[in-house]
Structure 1
Amino acid sequence: MRKFKFFTNFDKEESWLTDMARQGYRFTKKTAFGYEFKPERSENSTIKMDYRIFKKREDFDDYCSLFADSGWEHITGTKSSGYQYFKKKGTQGSEEIFSDVDSRAGRYKRLSNMWAMLACSFILVLAALISTDAIDLEALLDPKLLYYTPGLWDLNGVAFWRAFLFETPFALGRGFMWILLPFIIMIYLYFAFKANKQYKRTQEDKLTHK
């Protein structure tokens, strides 16, 4: 079974996954657009998550082993996926996967940095397209420039509409697909802001409970 959801808050995501386990759905894999589950008996388990990317496979294996020694089973996640999911094994030990607030907050900081890096990469792509004239800004004011069919605007009747409708999808692709880039950049920056805000909030909780 697949569920399509997106979270920017780890605590809410953990709570939802734990609730799904109690409803009889075992979480098996996170995909780009959601989550995969397998029907199983209801399980009163606690699911927690971290965000961490590893350069070496050995470091990733040591990371999983460290949590396993603390009573947490690694459910899904790879060394380069970032998102790491764990399930508490047995009833002993702490209900929290992190031993201190700094570790708990650090996952938000790493997530914020990831979104910010993605935004910067798309900004560079957009800048490169503009600097190489791959983006025709004049076409925003005069869309006719996007149509390459010779004599198109001199045609009449059925001949005009046949040529116009045939080329329009290509013209839109040439002239306006790049407009998606600023939207993607804004979305990534928003996610980076949300994660950084949650990082600061978690750090503030540490000061409040001192």
Structure 2
Amino acid sequence: MIPNFKAHPWHGISAGEDSPNIVNVFVEIVPSDTIKYEIDKVTGYLKVDRPQKFSNIIPALYGFVPRTYCHNEVMKLAIESGADDVTMGDHDPLDICVLSSHNIHAGGLLMEAIPIGGFKMIDGGEADDKIVAVMINDHAFGHFRDISELPAAEINRLMHYFLTYKNLPDEPAKCRIQEVYGADHAKKVIEASKRDYSEKFGG
């Protein structure tokens, strides 16, 4: 008899059979959450990171691509984009937000998404890319294939969240967005993070 077990969301699930064109996403938080959850890297369970102190609620599903890691390869892409103050990746799985018109009530789930672009975010000298994707077959967003096709208001809403969610009202910005990139570069970031994962944890 095969014992039941739960695969670790980071290490026990692939990035997707057709990645980087379609990727698996482990969703940690959803737009209705007033608490920021994140994966516990040891156990694989969701844990409370911190309550959200202000009204900066994530405007999309948010999580990471399994079997990715952001270090030297991801850092190189940031430097190629002109970020001359970057010294490393953020040593975390690759972040991804997924646009969907559906009201998903809680994280801790797995879904497939199509990367359409992303933000080259620099946080305290660390490359901290945020991939933007759409949920497969979503009625409102599923047909988009590049971030340039999104309404500007949707892009600005995502950018505003990532630029402000760590800040107190009277604090200077702790991070910046070096560039907004399209689907082709997003796929390069995904592949780079997969190489960083293999270098760190093995194939």
Fold conserved (TM > 0.5)?
no
Tell me which protein shows more strand as a share of its residues.
Answer: 2
Q: TM-score, normalised by structure 1?
A: 0.30
Q: TM-score, normalised by structure 2?
A: 0.31
Tell me which protein shows more helix as a share of its residues.
Answer: 1
Structure number with the bigger relative contact order (C-alpha 8 A, sep ≥ 6) is 2
